[in-house]
Chain A
Amino acid sequence: MATSIDVSDLNIYYGDFLAVEGVTIPIAARSVTAFIGPSGCGKSTFLRSLNRMHEVVRGARVEGKVLVDGEDLYGDDVDPVDVRRMVGMVFQRPNPFPTMSIYDNVLAGQRLNSKRMKKTDADDAVERALRSAGLWAEVKDRLDRPGSGLSGGQQQRLCIARAISVEPEVLLMDEPCSALDPISTIVIEDLIHELKAQYTIVIVTHNMQQAARVSDTTAFFNLAGVGMPGRLVEHGATEKIFSNPDESATEAYIQGRFG
């Protein structure tokens, strides 16, 4: 189910502004890849380009290739809607649909994909997704209550359940813990460890300890200077990046000398 991603020479523009320049990175299947770097270095933009979510901004476009399972996401006949069904996303702030129950939130994606589901199939899908997201025990008695009534950490796990219920190939996470307390953060991190058995996970984080804890591979992004495009400085096994990076900028960032 999970697939690898191959990005080569990707430039991301907003209008005439070059936001991210020349990213080439392979992302292995069934692994966790963390993007770290200072604010505004383009790591979130790059993450969003992996399921074409950056295109919600007017004038956004890319040059280069993003191959998922050998297929270019930016091919001429590729519909971004299909891309997003294959590459799911979890956002910085938990965003369950406030007018929907927990049950309906989990099924929201599937109801887009398929016309009708049998009640038993739907029940199974909801339970499966909530179990995978580690939320089933906490909400199984109140599936008909609104998702917005849950705590922040629970809401974020509900969003993860919603994202994986459509069984995507890849799961993108854009600072999924930055709005959560430390306990909820640990729960989500444990969840990431479990999910990588099935999914290819890419996570953006501002928290370097988090990157060290959850990821197999780490990629460091930085700006060449003010007003310059963000670029990928280096990437490699998380242990190596955190202990013995090739670039001095990476070392400086990881040791907390800037950023």
Chain B
Amino acid sequence: MTVVEVSRHPVRRLGDRVFAGASTGAAITILATLAGVAIFLTVEGVPGILASPDEVKSGESFLPYVGPLVFGTLLAAAIALVIAVPVSIGVALFISHYAPRRLAAVMGYLIDLLAAVPSVVYGLWGIGFLAGKLVAPYGWLEEHLGFLPFFAGPASATGRTILTVGIVLAVMILPIMTAICREVFLQTPRLHEEAALALGATRWEMARLAVFPHARSGIISGAMLGLGRALGETMAVAMVLSASGVVSWNLISSTNPSTIAANIALSFKEASGLTVNALVASGLVLFVITFVVNVAARLVVDRRKDFSGADA
């Protein structure tokens, strides 16, 4: 043992200082970028929000203009999430707890590959293949479930509906959500899995007793990442959807609400003057929505912190 020297100037190694500086710098860069985007959206967007109806191309004041877009954005993302969450949990559970090891590795690889497909390809697949295949099912839905407002019809003849968009988006967000779920499922403590099995749990019951509770916050994080992507997805939506700026719960008709991102992409080229500002303002709205979604997710994850098992 040596006596610790007390000095006025604690020795700090060069490497330590460089690393501390580099990581602090990286953190500040993120904040600065975020602030820059927020400032740009606000400064450029405010004139668009305040513009009078006859100054912009849509001929509407801002709220009636952006309202249907917000609705469409949330609807498409919600459909995607409703489809993708159970599927990704199922696939992840299969890979982590059911599949033989070799098959699990191949499946994991294929899922990751799905994440590398560019969104324009999903758009092509949606419009060229999926939409056409879905015309008949939509007719069936209208006929048999038409009493529900979602399937009131008349069913689209092209299949280019908000539901098709939701399905395409679900496929797009599946890989990231599956990858995250798989990782957290694999980290379930062996101890808790064995506790469940020793009580006479089947594999599915073990998943419910030990795996899902442990993975809860991870599943929510994964879903939020997927939701973020679905909210902001531009190309696939712009290509697939035949949009007409309405607010409608009808998921299978040919009149569909557009989404903010797709609307910006489709309108930006021909826009000028205050119309551009209005588009930027709609971007600001999307920014705020994404922010609110993330805060909400954080709150959900933090709730019942005592029960999180972080100390076990």
Residues of A within 8 A of B (CB): 51, 53, 56, 58, 81-86, 88-89, 91, 93, 95-101, 108-109, 112-113, 145-146, 148-149, 159, 162-163, 166
Contacts and interface: CB of A to CB of B under 8 A. Distances in A.
A81 B200 contact: yes
A88 B201 CA distance: 12
Nearest to B189: A95
17 contacts: A53-B197, A84-B199, A84-B200, A84-B201, A85-B199, A91-B191, A91-B195, A97-B195, A97-B196, A98-B307, A98-B308, A98-B309, A98-B312, A101-B307, A112-B200, A163-B199, A166-B200
A113 B307 contact: no
Given A99-B216, A101-B307, A166-B199, 19 more contacts: A56-B194, A82-B200, A84-B201, A89-B198, A91-B195, A95-B189, A98-B213, A99-B213, A99-B214, A108-B199, A108-B209, A109-B199, A112-B205, A112-B209, A145-B306, A148-B309, A162-B195, A162-B199, A163-B198
Given A56-B194, A145-B306, A159-B195, A100 B213 contact: yes
Interface centre among B195, B196, B199, B309 (most CB of A within 10 A): B199
B105 to A, nearest CB: 14
Contacts of A82: 200
B165 to A, nearest CB: 36
Contacts of A56: 193-194, 197
Contact of B308 (A99, A145, A159, A163): A99
B202 interface: yes
B223 interface: no
Contact of A88 (B101, B189, B198): B198
A181 B216 CA distance: 33
A181 B229 CA distance: 51
A122 B200 CA distance: 19
Interface in B175-214: 189, 191-202, 205, 209-210, 213-214
A46 to B, nearest CB: 16
B16 interface: no
Interface in B133-182: none
A175 B199 CA distance: 18
Contact of A53 (B194, B213, B311): B194
Contacts of B209: 97, 108, 112
Contacts, number: 86
A83 B189 CA distance: 23
Contacts of B306: 145-146, 149
Contacts of B193: 56
Contacts of A112: 199-201, 205, 209
Interface centre among B213, B304, B311, B312 (most CB of A within 10 A): B312
A88 B199 contact: yes
Interface of B: 101, 189, 191-202, 205, 209-210, 213-214, 216, 304, 306-309, 311-312
Nearest to B216: A99
A93 B307 contact: no
A53 B46 CA distance: 65
A89 B210 CA distance: 16
B198 A91 contact: yes
Nearest to B100: A58
Given A93-B191, A99-B214, A84 B198 contact: yes
A127 to B, nearest CB: 19
A202 to B, nearest CB: 13
A246 to B, nearest CB: 34
Contacts of A162: 195, 199
A58 B210 CA distance: 20
A151 B307 CA distance: 15
B310 to A, nearest CB: 8
Contacts of B304: 99
Interface centre among A51, A56, A88, A95 (most CB of B within 10 A): A95
Given A53-B194, A148-B312, A97 B210 contact: yes
Nearest to B193: A56
Contacts of B311: 98, 148
B18 to A, nearest CB: 40
Contact of A95 (B192, B200, B201, B308): B192
Given A97-B210, A97-B213, A84 B307 contact: no
A97 B210 CA distance: 7
Nearest to A145: B306
Nearest to B200: A85
B149 to A, nearest CB: 34
Given A56-B197, A99-B308, A81 B202 contact: yes
B306 to A, nearest CB: 5
A98 B194 CA distance: 14
A123 B86 CA distance: 34
B174 to A, nearest CB: 26
A91 B205 CA distance: 19
A81 B202 CA distance: 6
B309 A51 contact: no
Contacts of A145: 306
Contacts of A83: 200
A109 B202 CA distance: 11
A95 B191 contact: yes
